[in-house]
Structure 1
């Protein structure tokens, strides 16, 4: 075997070792980042099984630092020994859960429908509103997110009182739709702009109307973006606290308001708050896992054309 062959073999081994080392570093960094991201969820779950003493000591590892107990779940009537008995707290939790689910899903669905139609128009047609053109109108929608919620508190409080929308689900649905609509429009506008207009032109030549081309050609392609916009809207509306605490009192209270109510004159009930928090984020975790592929496709659409 020649010396050149040995040199090529050494170079190949060195290259393989370098690639293996770089992949190892990347995977270690990803694992470390995953631990950082997942630790709050782990801490929340473990805290729901701690006693007051365990919480104050900062115990982290079950069966090593402390013995798990059902204290947090028992306070909600969701522990194994209380799940079959009547519980006022559990009934209240279920009411808040359904309030959050109905308002978040309804407002997110309405925002996706209206936002998709508005975004399609901004991506395909030219508009003129005073000095504003399409790009200005799109930025105007996005700029509404800059406005702090506290500025809108008094106007909405007075308006909802006049319209008898205080402490109602429909009131929260309308408000939440307005708050997430700019995000949906911005996401879907980029989604529609990444779809070639030649597809619609070919559909029109084949005899479809504009609406027919939209529903039969464009909408199926833009579905991942719509799902991504829906999930993002769902997360934002599900976790919203300020307006829910301001505009509701008894009938339409949501889960974030119930979580915040775990503080009192006796201190913070960490175990109850942890159990409530995990019960509140569990549906979002399940939805995120089930719709992960749509979320990734939707958020990366238009990045590469």
Structure 2
């Protein structure tokens, strides 16, 4: 017995060493990738507290390479010294922030409502439109993402001018809804396909209508997917720049347009741009952290059937 134990020990030790080595390698890769993903956010936040020499010299670590200052936030009227005073720049920032919030949230909600109903129909009913069937219709929605936005520039300019929708929030909301709708449809279609049809059949036997079964049985189960689709739509519409710059001039301009305006003939105002970018991404970070579990459940549900 003693001899057997002596021979088994090195083998167990070898398995343990391999297990620890694999774990170290996995976590090392994950930590490295986390640093790569978070570094742009770190760089943006620290740049908002730098002076011009610190930006040009590439100083990175606060209190080590440079002494943090409020120059970037003062340019927006958001520093502790100016927060209690009137500031036209701060009013302009709040106006652009409000425009971004209203247009992105409204467009995302509208896209989730329309996309959820469309995805439910494609997953539960059979459609025929000429030679197109359900898979063809689903691919048609996805194919809209292939079209470059610049191709739509002239048609939308002409259309919005004739409808008096230029430089309006409602114009951006309708356009943003159209751009993110295909993504919502595909996410929600996978969600509904992962839900057993027998649940709805049992509800119909109990006397519920199709809409009743959809609202009371299916929709609560698909809620994580709806939240994930909403957050993805919110991120895409919040960061959209091309159409916001093309179709707005004064009243409906959004934050991305204001961030881009920090570049001029005299160079780039790095600290002001960094402060603007930090203020723009903070709401998305908060939403992502608060709704993280819904995002994970929503993205994973369609892959597990």
Q: What is the alpha-carbon distance in structure 2 between the residues aligned to residue 225 and residue 272 of structure 1? A: 37
Q: Which runs of structure 2 are paired with 1:104-123 in the superposition (5 Å)? A: 104-123=104-123
Query: Residue in 1 aligned with 2:70?
Result: 70
- SS of the counterpart of 1:84? coil
Stretches of structure 2 lacking an aligned partner (at least 5 in a row): none
- SS of the counterpart of 2:222? helix
Q: Which runs of structure 2 are paired with 1:1-305 in the superposition (5 Å)? A: 1-305=1-305
Q: What is the alpha-carbon distance in structure 2 between the residues aligned to residue 295 and residue 77 of structure 1? A: 35
**CA-CA distance at 1:8 after TM superposition:** 2.1
Q: What is the alpha-carbon distance in structure 2 between the residues aligned to residue 97 and residue 137 of structure 1? A: 36
Stretches of structure 1 lacking an aligned partner (at least 5 in a row): none
Q: What is the alpha-carbon distance in structure 2 between the residues aligned to residue 118 and residue 241 of structure 1? A: 27
Q: What is the alpha-carbon distance in structure 2 between the residues aligned to residue 126 and residue 110 of structure 1? A: 24
Q: What is the alpha-carbon distance in structure 1 between the residues aligned to residue 130 and residue 41 of structure 2? A: 49
**CA-CA distance at 1:9 after TM superposition:** 2.7
Q: What is the alpha-carbon distance in structure 1 between the residues aligned to residue 161 and residue 80 of structure 2? A: 43
Q: What is the alpha-carbon distance in structure 2 between the residues aligned to residue 230 and residue 8 of structure 1? A: 55
- SS of the counterpart of 1:78? coil
**CA-CA distance at 1:123 after TM superposition:** 0.2
Q: What is the alpha-carbon distance in structure 1 between the residues aligned to residue 86 and residue 304 of structure 2? A: 56
- TM value normalised by structure 2: 0.99
Q: What is the alpha-carbon distance in structure 1 between the residues aligned to residue 216 and residue 80 of structure 2? A: 50
What number of residue pairs does the alignment pair up?
Answer: 305
Deviations 1:245-291 (A, max 9, x none): 01101100000000000011211000000000010000000000001
Deviations 1:87-142 (A, max 9, x none): 00000000000000000000000000000000000000000000000000000000
Q: What is the alpha-carbon distance in structure 1 between the residues aligned to residue 166 and residue 288 of structure 2? A: 32
**CA-CA distance at 1:228 after TM superposition:** 0.5
Q: What is the alpha-carbon distance in structure 1 between the residues aligned to residue 192 and residue 112 of structure 2? A: 13
CA-atom RMSD in angstroms: 0.8
**CA-CA distance at 1:240 after TM superposition:** 0.3
- SS of the counterpart of 1:286? helix
- SS of the counterpart of 1:252? coil
Runs of 4+ in 1 over 3 A off after TM superposition: none
Q: What is the alpha-carbon distance in structure 1 between the residues aligned to residue 81 and residue 209 of structure 2? A: 61
**CA-CA distance at 1:15 after TM superposition:** 1.2
Deviations 1:171-225 (A, max 9, x none): 0000000000000001101110111101111111111111111011100110010
**CA-CA distance at 1:17 after TM superposition:** 1.8
Q: What is the alpha-carbon distance in structure 1 between the residues aligned to residue 243 and residue 304 of structure 2? A: 38
Q: What is the alpha-carbon distance in structure 2 between the residues aligned to residue 140 and residue 50 of structure 1? A: 48
Q: What is the alpha-carbon distance in structure 2 between the residues aligned to residue 7 and residue 277 of structure 1? A: 62
Deviations 1:54-78 (A, max 9, x none): 1000000111111111110000000
- TM value normalised by structure 1: 0.99
